[in-house]
Amino acid sequence: MTYTVKEIFYTLQGEGAQTGRPAVFLRFAGCNLWTGLEKDRAKAQCTFCDTDFVGGTKYKSAEDLAKAVSAYWPDDPTNKMVVCTGGEPLLQLDTPLIDALHAQGFSIAVESNGTQSAPDGIDWLCISPKADCEIVQTSGDELKLVYPQEKISPSDVEHLNFKNFFLQPMDGPDKAGNTEKAIAYCKAHPKWRLSTQTHKLLGIA
């Protein structure tokens, strides 16, 4: 299989339960909920995405891509983690790539919109559901709901089989108000925890 990758970079995880952990981010190109083109945003199933996932580099084998990811990790082999994101990573992440990344010593985390089934072998699975989209992957380690969204509320998804539940305030011009709403919801519903985008607060990638 050929993999199309927008970018690979090394930073700290900025969101959710793994916040602060060093990781190589493997951002796949392409998504099934939006083309990534501004002209299509208004009619997309996900209209608030803030990520550029259009275009990129092609890798002809799982082994080549895993080696490219490994080249970003420092000399210390401790606690290696790769975060597969997008776009929608589960359109491309498959068993051969999972095996190749494990062979390089990585623990594999995935950030997905939940509309695709996850293959076996993922070590940490985070699902971020979107309104009006069928949630196919109903279990995992972390459910992270961007909040507030029209047509989807925390009560719609809190019955799903996840170990951690996070509300992440929607970015944009109303971020301060959205943060206040998310804090208030978490305080009233302790099953939920607040996830802030610390990488944006710190000014890191």
Specify burial of residue 188 (Cβ count, 10 A radius: 0-12, 13-18, 19+).
Answer: exposed
Q: How far apart are CA 82 and CA 69, in angstroms?
A: 8
What is the amino acid identity at position 177? Answer: G
Any idea which residues carry the catalytic annotation? Answer: 25, 31, 46, 49-51, 111, 199
Which helix (H) or strand (E) covers residue 81, if one does?
strand 81-85
Q: What proportions of the chain, in percent to the nearest 5, are helix, strand and coil?
A: 25, 30, 45
